[in-house]
Structure 1
Amino acid sequence: MSSILETLFMIISAVELIVGILGNGFIVLVNSIDWIRNRKVSLIDCILTCLAISRICLLWVIILNSRLNVCEILFYCRNTVALIFQDLWLGSNYFSTVCNTCLNVFYFLRIANFSNPIFLWMKWRIHRVLLIIVLGPTFCLFTCFLLNETLLIKLWEDQVNMEENTTCIFVRNMYAFMTSQSLLGMAFIFLFLVSLASFLLLILSLCNHTRQMKLQGTRSRGPSTEAHIRAIRAMISFLLLFVVYYLSSSLMVLTHGITHSVMAKMSANVLMFFYPSFHSLLLILWNNKLKEASFCVLRKLKCAWNQGNPHSHKIP
């Protein structure tokens, strides 16, 4: 029974990986072709392209983690490859999260409608706001990069010399390492709270817009209402998948450190793939340019299939 479940989990993970690579790669390809053709790129296309590239990297890092059991390597042996992998893990996680946060803030500033002077200032200087969001938590990220390698090496040395009565040193270094990880966690929490605030304020803007439409006696949905709804759907999908992803990441750490259950590890891997894989498909469906390009590709594939199989459309 366990072998059947393992095979099933492996198939699901492979499908999720293929969907993620194809979906994110499609976003990069369409926006790159559009940039080469028009010699310019819009802010939303730039954010989506950076987001797709970071998620492609994140998918491969997840695959390497599931195949190499790097979590165990990090805590039980001194391995340069494991340290490099940890930096790749932190970097891909950070840039994926910060790009998605920038996307949510972009939706909020471009679609929401408030008369507040602070909102208007942010709306007119959207490039500066996004730059602050990108550079703000980056300080925490690079601080962790600088501290983690030194602290992990010290922890490994302390573990080797535990019989020499270095328990206090080990505890102190472990405390410093956990402090470094907490600093990184604060950066991710900040980005999540920014996305959550953008989501709540966009809902408030939609409520105000709907109230104004009722006062004016308009019942049909206008372009502004449709834009609000599409943006809210995108934000909801991100927030839910973001929570699932980090809960599954925590489960992965627990399985390596406590339970060592193969089923728990594979379940965590399947859940971790949802965030970088299927959210890209939702972004394609909710972006007009990407949606039209995907339909065009599907039509061409259907025509090529019919031409290659002339008997497929004949009625027997």
Structure 2
Amino acid sequence: MSSLLEIFFVIISVVEFIIGTLGNGFIVLINSTSWFKNQKISVIDFILTWLAISRMCVLWTTIAGASLRKFYKTLSYSKNFKFCFDIIWTGSNYLCIACTTCISVFYLFKIANFSNSIFFWIKQRIHAVLLAIVLGTLMYFILFLIFMKMIANNFIYKWTKLEQNTTFPVLDTLSGFLVYHSLYNGILIFFFIVSLTSFLLLIFSLWSHLRRMKLQGIHTKDISTEAHIKAMKTMMSFLLFFIIYYISNIMLIVASSILDNVVAQIFSYNLIFLYLSVHPFLLVLWNSKLKWTFQHVLRKLVCHCGGYS
């Protein structure tokens, strides 16, 4: 029964991996082509492009790491492999969450309307704020790498021995594990709070806008209301999928390091790939340019396939 579940979950993971690569690749291709053709690109398209690139890196790194741990255990236990894998995987994750935070912050200051001097001052310098988010992420990533090189090698060695069922101080290893993941997750939690705050402020902005419209006797949706709702859909999807992604990573750590259950590990990968493969298509549907291009490509494919039938 477990072998059948394992095969079933592996097939789902492969399908999600292919869909995720195609979806994110489509966003990168369309935005890059438009950028090259017009010699300019909007802020939101630029961020979406890098978000898609980072997600493809996470997808490929995750599938490569899982395959190596399955078929080349000796290589996957080496310090150099773990360090190189962590650099690529951590860097991709940090870039991914930085891009999602940039989108949330950008939507907040682009759409929300508050009669507050501080809000207006930040709104006038939104590009500098987005740059600060990216540079801050880069600085944190560099500091995290320094920590890994100086301290984490010892932890990786102990954790590897523990995974190989070698007698090793469990409490000492777990303390290093907690320190390692606390530092890794620090910026992710911070950016999640920033995105959640942006979402809540946008809700408050929409409520204030609707209240003003009601006082003025206007009961139909205007452009500002539609912009609020569209941005809130995107931001809510980021938050929900991030929670799923974060929980699935915790499940993967527990399944691989504590339970040592292969089926649970593959199921965790299914949830990880769900965020990376399904969400790009939601972004395509909510972006007018990407949606039009996607529908155009689908029509071309249907006509092309119909010509051969």
How far apart, CA to CA, are the structure 1 residues paired with 2:139 and 2:80? 24
- CA distance in 2: counterparts of 1:197 and 1:134, whole angstroms: 18
User: TM-score of the superposition, structure 1-length normalised?
Assistant: 0.88
| TM-aligned CA deviation for residue 283 of structure 1 | 0.5
1:26, 1:54 → 2: CA distance?
14
Matching of residue 6 in structure 1 with residue 25 in structure 2 = no
Shift of 1:174: 7.0
Please give the alpha-carbon distance, in whole angstroms, between the structure 2 residues aligned to 1:102 and 1:159. 35
Amino acid at match of 1:301: L
Kindly report which structure 2 residues correspond to 1:243-254, keeping only aligned pairs within 5 A, or say none.
Answer: 243-254=243-254
Instruction: Tell me the equivalent position of 2:165.
Output: none
Alpha-carbon distance change, 236 to 200 in structure 1, aligned in 2, over 3 angstroms: same
Within 1, Cα distance between the matches of 2:23 and 2:158? 45
- Quote the offset at 1:156 in angstroms: 6.0
1:42 aligns with 2:42: yes
Question: Per-residue CA shift, 1:260-281, capped at 9, x if unaligned?
Answer: 1111101101001111111111
Query: So what's the TM-score if we normalise by structure 2?
Result: 0.90
Partner AA of 1:201 in structure 2: L
- Does the CA contact (< 8 Å) of 2:9 and 2:267 recur in 1? yes
1:247–1:132 CA distance, 2 compared to 1 (3 A): same
Q: How has the CA–CA distance of structure 1 residues 31 and 211 changed in structure 2, closer, same or farther, with 3 Å as cutoff?
A: same
Residue 293 in structure 1 maps to residue 293 in structure 2: yes
* CA distance in 2 between partners of 1:271 and 1:106 (Å): 28
For residue 107 of structure 1, what is the amino acid of its counterpart?
Answer: Y
Alpha carbons 1:73, 1:79 under 8 Å: kept: no
Given that 1:78 and 1:153 are in contact with CA atoms closer than 8 Å, whether structure 2 keeps it comes out as no
Name the counterpart of 1:312: none
CA contact under 8 A between 1:73 and 1:82: conserved in structure 2?
A: no
Letter in 1 for 2:145: F
Instruction: Judge which range, 180-189 or 33-42, deviates more.
Output: 180-189
**1:191 alignment partner in structure 2:** 191
In structure 1, the residue matched to 2:84 is 84
Superposed displacement of residue 305, structure 1: 1.5
| Alpha-carbon distance, 1:178 to partner | 4.0
Residue 249 of structure 1 deviates from its aligned partner by 0.5
Question: Which consecutive residues of structure 2, in runs of 5 or more, have no partner in the other structure?
Answer: 162-167
Look up the match of 2:164: none
What are structure 1's unaligned runs of at least 5 residues? 310-316
Shift of 1:68: 2.3
Post-superposition Cα deviations, 1:35-70, rounded to whole Å, max 9, x if no partner, equal: 111111111111000000000001111112322239
Q: Partners of 1:224 and 1:43 in 2: how far apart?
A: 19
Alignment of 1:199-238 (within 5 A): 199-238=199-238
Question: Structure 2: how far apart are the matches of 1:194 and 1:87?
Answer: 24
Residues 3 and 157 (structure 1), Cα distance of their counterparts in 2 relative to 1, 3 Å cut = closer
Rounded Cα–Cα distance in structure 2 between residues aligned with 1:197 and 1:183 = 22
Deviation at 1:133, TM superposition (A): 1.4
One-letter identity of the residue aligned with 1:297:
V
Evaluate the alpha carbon distance shift between residue 77 and residue 150 of structure 1 in structure 2; reply closer, same or farther with a 3 A threshold: farther
Task: Indicate the larger mover: 195-204 or 142-151.
Answer: 142-151
| CA offsets 1:97-130 (integer angstroms, 9 cap, x no match) | 1011101111111111111111111111111111
Aligned match of 2:58: 58
Measured after TM superposition, the shift of residue 149 of structure 1 is 2.9
**Cα–Cα, structure 1 residues 250 and 158, in superposed 2: closer, same or farther, change >3 Å?**
closer
Q: How do 1:1-316 residues align onto structure 2 when only pairs under 5 Å count?
A: 1-69=1-69, 77-155=77-155, 171=172, 175=175, 178-309=178-309
Tell me the distance in 2 between the aligned counterparts of 1:249 and 1:144: 19
Give the deviation of 1:157 after TM superposition: 6.4
Distance across 1 between alignment mates of 2:299 and 2:137: 43
**Equivalents in 2 of 1:194, 1:121: separation in Å?**
18
Q: Report which of the two structures shows the higher radius of gyration computed on alpha carbons.
A: 1
Residues 239-297 of structure 1: CA deviation (Å, up to 9, x unaligned): 11101111110111111211111111011010011111111111101111111111111
